[in-house]
Amino acid sequence: MNVQVVYCSHHTTSLAVRERLAFASAEQLSRAYQSLRTIFPKSEHVVLSTCNRVEIYTAQDEPGRDLAGETPTEEQVAEFLSQFHGVSRDDLCGTLLAQTGPEAVRHLFEVSSSLDSMVLGEPQIVNQVKEAYRVAQDNGACGPLTHALFQGAMRVSARVRTETALSEGRVSVASVAVGEFGKSIFDRFSDKTLVVIGAGEMAEETLRYLKDEGVREIVVVNRSLERAERLAADWGGKARPFEELDALMARADVIVSTTGASAPIVDAARFTAIRRRSADKPVFILDLATPRDFEPAVGDVDENVFLYDIEALEATCEKNRRQRAKEIERARRIIDEETGHFVHAINHKATGPIISKLRAEWNQVREDEERRLFAKLRHLNDGDRQEIKRSIELIVNKLLHPPLEALRDEARNGTPHNLLEALRRLFGLGE
């Protein structure tokens, strides 16, 4: 099983680095897949890019072949990210981690089950994993191993969600952000105006929570007015064109920004001008975009501007994680079990045919030799013949035992490609 993930996440890198490595648009992601297919035509790929992580999964499902040069190494993935995003290798030094084989499988299962999320148990990540898998399929980047891997991740996520209490309480980024930060600014939301910038999944997740909090007025702003109208209609709000954004922010009490822009859309100078029109009333800004939609300096425009971004959530989410320690333990047991099942199934798929073929060919040799021997020794009775058969069969099994045990031992840590190839050559098994 040749599976690898190279990644950076909120655990390992700053938001600034993740912003530079993020794939912020469908067009950019499509170009990335085209580049990966060109560089590594024999490999399968899935790119997972969210506000908290950038991960590239690679896989090769040709057991028993010499895979040298056909699948990317950790260094080659780092070089791809450096070249694609125009980030120097020095800036990437120490920011990327890599897992291979069973550890890569376990990592994806933990990610899809939200054990690796800033907000433990948050449901959005599994949808992001599903979407990443779908986009990879649309770009012709998947294959047998990534299909099995990501379908397995969906299954594991469902088990963790139903068999543990990880998803109880505040579990989404939006709910924690509004519940912890927003309520420290406002006593209630029923008299507040909310402006949502962006119309994607994160915007909808935030709207769902704030609607439950009873926010008075909802305004959705998006570069595509049609998308804004669809989202606003679903939540009893109204849509406005992007050109009206400054006027809308001037009268907003809460601003949630979730665009996929490649650079900040609001800087300090722009927001200072907006504040001149808002009588300095408190405004809560939740910037959930990666890269940021609001420059950090916006939070310093005046004392009534409360700006929070993804990094500001980390301390609160860590507290959430500590409070759910027992559920984490239950979830990890499920993930360990599912990882073992997955690795066993994949390695059996790779080693099973070789074991079967080796046994079949040696047993054919045994049967041929028995027929030749019995043709010469016609005086033997049935009892003698059976005893000879048992002895020859025992010899064959003893001779086969060491190579097959070595194969099984190696398979526990991943598909033993080199050993499979050696067995093919040593025993003349062919393809």
Q: List the catalytic residues.
A: 51
Indicate the Cα dihedral angle 29, 30, 32, 36, nearest 10°: 140
Structure tokens at 327: 């559920």
Structure tokens at 381: 């009775």
- Please spell the DSSP secondary structure of 291-318, one letter per residue: S-SB-GGGGGS-TTEEEEEGGGGHHHHH
180 neighbors 172 (Cβ within 8 angstroms):
no
The kind and range of the H/E element at 58 are strand 53-60
| Nearest Cα residue to 48 out of 25, 77, 23 | 23
Structure tokens at 22: 């993020």
* Spatial separation of the C-alpha atoms in residues 223 and 217, rounded to whole Å: 20
| Nearest Cα residue to 154 out of 109, 115, 101 | 109
Helices (H), 377-416: 382-411
Contacts of 101 (CB under 8 A, 6+ apart): 1, 2, 3, 343, 413, 414
Residue type, 17: V
Q: What is the CA angle 238-242-17, rounded to 5?
A: 115
Give the three-class secondary structure for 97: strand
Structure tokens at 314: 């980390």
| Nearest Cα residue to 45 out of 13, 81, 9 | 81
Query: Quick one: CA dihedral 60, 65, 67, 70, positive or negative?
Result: negative
- Integer-rounded Cα radius of gyration of the chain: 29
The kind and range of the H/E element at 156 are helix 144-163
| Nearest Cα residue to 268 out of 305, 246, 297 | 297
Q: Residues 351-373, buried b or exposed e (16+ Cβ, 10 A)?
A: beebbebbeeeeeeebeeeeeee
The DSSP code for 266 is B
* Spatial separation of the C-alpha atoms in residues 361 and 427, rounded to whole Å: 9
